A and B are shown apart, each in its own frame.
Chain A
Amino acid sequence: MKIETLKQRMVDSISNVMETMFFCVVDVVTEKTPLPDWFEGKGPLLGAELHFEGPLNGCFYVIAPQKVINEITADFLGLTPEEVQDQERQDTLKEALNMISGSTFTAFDKSRRFQIGIPGLLPTERLAPDQLNGFEGALNVLLDDRPIAIGLTVENQTS
Chain B
Amino acid sequence: MAFNVLIVDDSLAMRSVIKKTIKIAGFKIGELLEASDGRKALEVMENTWVDVVLTDINMPNMNGFELIETMQQDAVLKQIPIVMVTTEGSEKAVERAMTAGARGFIQKPFSPEEIVKTLNQILGEPTDEDRNTEAEDGGLDF
Identify the A interface with B (CB < 8 A): 16-17, 20-21, 73, 76-78, 87-88, 91-92, 94-95, 98-99, 101-103, 105-106, 109-112, 116, 118
Contacts and interface: CB of A to CB of B under 8 A. Distances in A.
Contact of A111 (B10, B17, B92): B92
Interface of B: 10-14, 16-17, 20, 58-60, 86-93, 107-111, 142
B17 A112 contact: no
Contacts of B86: 102
Contacts of A78: 20, 142
Contact of B108 (A91, A102, A112): A102
Q: List the 5 shortest-distance A-B pairs measured between CB atoms, nearest first.
A: A102-B87, A112-B90, A106-B89, A78-B142, A20-B109
B90 A87 contact: no
Among A88, A91, A92, A95, max chain B CB count under 10 A is at A95
A76 B13 contact: yes
Nearest to A73: B13
Interface SS of B by simple majority? loop
Contacts of B58: 98, 116, 118
A101 B11 CA distance: 15
A157 to B, nearest CB: 20
A94 B87 CA distance: 12
Among A21, A73, A88, max chain B CB count under 10 A is at A21
Contacts of A17: 108-109
A106 B90 contact: yes
A17 to B, nearest CB: 5
Contacts of A110: 90-91
Contacts of B108: 17, 21, 98-99, 102-103
A99 B10 CA distance: 13
A78 B93 CA distance: 31
B12 A91 contact: yes
Contacts of A101: 87
